[in-house]
Amino acid sequence: MLLGIRLFYYGVMWAQIPGYTGYMPHRVLSLSVLVVELTGILFTVAKIDLWPYFLAASSFMHGIIYIIKGLGTTLQKMPNMLAILGMFHTAIAFLMDMGIKYSVSFPLLSAISIMVRVEPSMLRYSIRRTSLLTYILISVFLLMLSFRSFTVLLLIPGAIILVLNRVSLRGLYGVGSTTAKTLGLAGALSVFLGMGLDIVHMTLIGFLGVIMGSLCAPLIVPGIMGRSYRGFSPGYAVAITLIAVLRALYIKIYLEFYVEALSLLMVLIIIIYMYRILVSEKAL
């Protein structure tokens, strides 16, 4: 699951480099990074010990482009810092032999950087650069602490309400954003209060999965694939939210095939998304 999420966000963020940095990567560079990334993933699956070096190299290559071309103090470029932090954090963790679980920081912060870009315009409100800078500094602090305790990394989504504090139940993104931020905050509170929830799945499905299903898949992926946008019902975000909550409660509910059933439901939703995107009309 972690490798799939990482690969998804790697493609999403690379495809948006021109829009986020004003720089179009050379085709050879794109192919080189793709080969390095896929080699690292294949080595991970095959349990070949060289995988951390390939995935770290891929993350560094990706992040350096953002550092050279994408840094700035405007609201257009400040979100790039979040993506950079995720790329370099996961690369350093791999080189320190911290384990594949640390790959979550890259997609997590990449998704948040996209939210910071699109939510204010979609929900019609403005954010302050000081608030965004404060959140970036909090993220840096939590990322550093996460090398001592992985759970600290999962507090980052809970703090996003400092920047994106609008609640909306209109449309797919409004519902998805509101539920994702709620579950991100619930996951953070679970850590502090010792509520016994499966915080990893609450973060990966409840926050990241909902954002993937309400922002990235329906709004970004069609454009990358040259397809026209087709509206998705808010019910998709609600369904993913319910799956996340039920999965997070797994340690309290011991039912046969419980996890398998939830996994199959998630796979079904992904297949529906893929089908609807692929059958939409070409926009280019």
Note whether 247 and 282 are same-domain residues.
Answer: yes
pLDDT digits (tens, 9 = 90+) for 73-98: 888 899 999 999 999 999 999 999 99
- Assign 23 to helix, strand or coil: coil
Q: How much is the pLDDT for 250? A: 64
Residues facing 227 on adjacent strands: 282
Neighbours of 74 (CB within 10 A): 8
Note whether 273 and 231 are same-domain residues.
Answer: yes
Q: Do 20 and 74 contact (CB within 8 A), yes or no? A: no
C-alpha span between 10 and 109 (Å, rounded)? 12
Q: How much is the pLDDT for 255? A: 64
Note whether 68 and 190 are same-domain residues.
Answer: no
Query: How high is the mean pLDDT of the chain?
Result: 90
Does residue 152 form part of some domain?
A: no
pLDDT reading at 26 higher than 90: yes
Does residue 231 form part of some domain?
A: yes
Does residue 58 form part of some domain?
A: yes
| CA count, 13 A, side-chain hemisphere, 201 | 19
Note whether 86 and 192 are same-domain residues.
Answer: no
C-alpha span between 170 and 185 (Å, rounded)? 21
Note whether 116 and 203 are same-domain residues.
Answer: no
Q: Do 273 and 217 contact (CB within 8 A), yes or no? A: yes
Long-range contacts of 122-126 (CB under 8 A, 24+ apart): 122/173, 122/174, 123/166, 123/168, 123/173, 123/174, 123/177, 125/166
Q: Of the residues 113, 145, 177, which one is the last residue of a structural domain?
A: 145
Q: Do 60 and 88 contact (CB within 8 A), yes or no? A: yes
- The DSSP secondary-structure symbol of 1 reads -
Does residue 162 form part of some domain?
A: no
pLDDT-based confidence at residue 253 (cuts at 50, 70, 90): low
pLDDT digits (tens, 9 = 90+) for 235-251: 999 999 999 988 887 65
The answer to pTM > 0.75 is: yes
Which residue range is the domain that position 240 belongs to?
167-284
Note whether 26 and 88 are same-domain residues.
Answer: yes
Does residue 178 form part of some domain?
A: yes
Note whether 3 and 140 are same-domain residues.
Answer: yes
Q: Of the residues 79, 110, 145, which one is the last residue of a structural domain?
A: 145
Note whether 115 and 2 are same-domain residues.
Answer: yes
Does residue 155 form part of some domain?
A: no
How many structural domains compose the chain? 2
Note whether 122 and 70 are same-domain residues.
Answer: yes
Q: Of the residues 145, 180, 195, which one is the last residue of a structural domain?
A: 145
Does residue 60 form part of some domain?
A: yes
Q: How much is the pLDDT for 135? A: 97
Note whether 119 and 242 are same-domain residues.
Answer: no
Dihedral sign from CA coordinates of 26, 28, 34, 37: negative
Note whether 48 and 94 are same-domain residues.
Answer: yes
Note whether 171 and 139 are same-domain residues.
Answer: no
Candidate ranges 104-108, 195-199, 223-227; pick with highest mean pLDDT: 104-108
C-alpha span between 50 and 101 (Å, rounded)? 16
Helices within the chain (DSSP H only) = 2-15, 17-21, 27-45, 51-70, 79-95, 105-123, 129-145, 171-193, 199-201, 210-211, 221-224, 235-248, 258-278
